[in-house]
Amino acid sequence: MSDMPETDLPEDTKDPFRARCAMLVSVLAMCLAIASLGGSNAGKDSMAENILAANAYAFYQAKSIRQTNYKIAADQIQVQLAQDKNTPAAKAILEKKLADYQKNIERYESEPETGDGKKELMAKAKGHEQVRDIALQKDPWFDYAEALLQIAIVLTSVAILTGAHILFWIPCGLGLIGIFSTVNGFMLFI
């Protein structure tokens, strides 16, 4: 198109104002796509991490119930052992059962090798909650960015149609705020 004389160019390509507006719409649309992607990912991350935290808490609760059952059984065996009515063979069986139950009680409390003890499950759940909370902090910034960038694109379109130069600067300002909101959605400066 550079080989064509300027007089042969379509009327709308000769106007530098319309060219600036077209470039602004392009930049705003690109930033809108990035903001939309970031918002979508933040929403998915918060939902996924919330599910993982709930699962970890449910597993913690199940371990806690099992541990309590073993504690009750161990207490009953201790009561039986305290009574001198047991034969030596029965006493040996009860002591072995008590040792097994106490081992299970300790295993349910902490099991670092598998990461499935109550202590490890609580840490996992808290970690998932922390990631979820960060994603929830990011999400509104992407929403603000999307709204501002869409409004800026519409106002730029109005500026192109009306030729009102003042309408070019308003979407520029909104676009900058939208771009800042997008960057803040990823980085959480504020």
Q: Where are the domains of the chain?
A: 12-187
Q: What pLDDT is recorded for position 18? A: 92
Contacts 24+ apart (CB under 8 A), 46-50: 46/132, 46/135, 46/136, 46/139, 49/128, 49/129, 49/131, 49/132, 49/135, 50/128, 50/129, 50/132
pLDDT of residue 169 exceeding 90: yes
Radius of gyration of the CA atoms of the chain, in A? 33
What stretches of 41-161 adopt beta strand conformation (E)?
Answer: none
Q: What pLDDT is recorded for position 179? A: 97
Q: pLDDT tens across 46-61, in order? A: 999 999 999 999 999 9
8 — pLDDT class (breaks 50, 70, 90)? low
Stretch 145-174: mean pLDDT, rounded? Answer: 94
pLDDT of residue 186 exceeding 90: yes
Helices (H), 83-117: 88-109
pLDDT of residue 11 exceeding 80: no
6 — pLDDT class (breaks 50, 70, 90)? low
pLDDT of residue 1 exceeding 50: no
